[in-house]
Amino acid sequence: MKKIHCLNPIAECGTKLFPEDYVFTDQAAEADALLVRSASMHEMELPENLLAVGRAGAGVNNIPLDECAQQGIVVFNTPGANANGVKELVLAGLFLASRDIAGGLAWCKENAADPQIAKTTEKSKKAFAGCEIKGKKLGVIGLGAIGAEVANAATHLGMEVYGYDPYLSVNAAWRLSRNVKHITNADTIFRECDYITVHVPLLESTKGMIDKEKLDMMKDGVVILNFARDILVNDDDMAEAVAAGRVARYVSDFPNPKVANMDRVILMPHLGASTKESEDNCAVMAVQELTDYLENGNIRNSVNYPSCDMGVCQTESRVAVLHKNIPNMIGQITAILAAQGANITDMTNKSRDRFAYTLVDLEHSLEEATIERLKTIEGVLRVRRVK
């Protein structure tokens, strides 16, 4: 039996996919796996027996990835599962920033009791006029799952789209429309675009990437959209640029007291992925990843351990060893297995940065003493009998 604890509500169409002998627990401390959306795990004590975390979403800045890896806890996310939801809201952001739709809606509500509303409409509407996005330049920073969808959609709306992503994967490049102009220096986007949208993960290297220096490069009247993470933008610098009228609109999905009190801000309460479809997609993918890991030891879409797929174990036993990426680990692991006389039928060893994973299928059942010996190898972080 495996125990699952949810740190946030997770869509049922995902949670119902766990095998029958899985149960949900209210106690995080006794969980084999956690499911989480945006809840922060940074202050949380990681349960000793925790094997895995499934982030039903893309961003993993709410999870202590390195600490998890050190404790042999594999963290998964769900790449692309909510990208369409975010893309649609970014498109809404483009339109909301281009015409004063919000002001117009409010005006209609305020004047609802006026019997002359039809007449006054025609006099008042000029206050809410705007411009069209067709023909304007849109800069997309980060061309992963969301950025690529936004860039492609914007080309269909007649925008001239500039895309920047120095780490673009081959798969992501394949998804990108050839009408998106490939930019190799982000400053080109900052200098030339009328609209700039950011779709990068929050990392040390991306924190505050939109700051005074970049804002000063931008065209007067630029619109900036941030559906990625709050602190990618320096709020003080943005407040100054907005107050000076250099930024026409700042569209953000991340309220905080500073942003909420800025003029010309179009602020939403982190709604990018809040659609039934995105929530379902993320839940299903996260549950499938966790189940494949817990049942078979396979790793797909981890953000702190390498990928590994040996399918379903067809032999007597399977053991998973999570360890540091240091020399002579395979030699030590196989020597201990050989000492028990266990014949290896299949084996995968993969590494990712400082961590590595070795999955071994054996012809014989694994003795408890062998597992205990594997745990004593210097650099081994966790040993798990998968079968």
Ligand X SMILES: NC(=O)C1=CN([C@@H]2O[C@H](COP(=O)(O)OP(=O)(O)OC[C@H]3O[C@@H](n4cnc5c(N)ncnc54)[C@H](O)[C@@H]3O)[C@@H](O)[C@H]2O)C=CC1
Ligand Y SMILES: O=C(O)CCC(=O)C(=O)O
Instruction: List contacts with ligand X (CB under 6 A).
Output: 57-59, 79, 82-83, 86, 141-147, 164-168, 172, 199-202, 205-206, 227-229, 253, 270, 272-273
Nearest approach in angstroms of CB 96 to ligand X is 15
Q: Count the Cβ atoms, other than its own, within 10 Å of residue 126.
A: 7
- Residues forming a β-bridge with 356: 323, 351
Nearest approach in angstroms of CB 104 to ligand Y is 29
In order of 22, 191, 267, 280, 284, the CA distances from 78 in angstroms are 21, 34, 25, 11, 9
Q: Which residues contact 306 (CB under 8 A, 6 or more apart)?
A: 299, 350, 351, 352, 355, 356, 357
Nearest approach in angstroms of CB 141 to ligand X is 5
Angle (CA) 56 203 238, round 5°: 105
Closer residue to ligand Y, CB minimum distance, 59 or 104: 59
Among 138, 239, 273, 386, binds ligand Y (CB under 6 A): 273
Nearest approach in angstroms of CB 146 to ligand X is 3
Binding to ligand Y, residues 66-95 (CB under 6 A):
82
Q: In whole angstroms, what is the distance from residue 196 CA to residue 234 CA? A: 15
Closer residue to ligand X, CB minimum distance, 251 or 321: 251
Closer residue to ligand X, CB minimum distance, 104 or 201: 201
SS3 content of the chain, % helix, strand, coil (to 5): 35, 20, 40
Closer residue to ligand X, CB minimum distance, 242 or 273: 273
Q: In whole angstroms, what is the distance from residue 365 CA to residue 94 CA? A: 60
Which partner from the list ligand Y, ligand X, none does 38 bind, CB cut-off 5 to 8 Å by kind? ligand Y
Smallest Cα–Cα separation from 277: which of 62, 14, 2, 4? Answer: 14
Q: Is residue 38 within the footprint of ligand Y (CB under 6 A)?
A: yes
Q: Is residue 58 within the footprint of ligand Y (CB under 6 A)?
A: yes
Which partner from the list ligand Y, ligand X, none does 158 bind, CB cut-off 5 to 8 Å by kind? none
DSSP track, 70-119:
HTT-EEE--TTTTHHHHHHHHHHHHHHHHS-HHHHHHHHHHTTT-TTHHH
Which partner from the list ligand X, ligand Y, none does 167 bind, CB cut-off 5 to 8 Å by kind? ligand X
What tokens does 91 get? 């498109």
Q: Is residue 304 within the footprint of ligand Y (CB under 6 A)?
A: no
Q: Is residue 275 within the footprint of ligand Y (CB under 6 A)?
A: no
| Interacting residues toward ligand Y by CB under 6 A | 37-38, 57-59, 82, 273
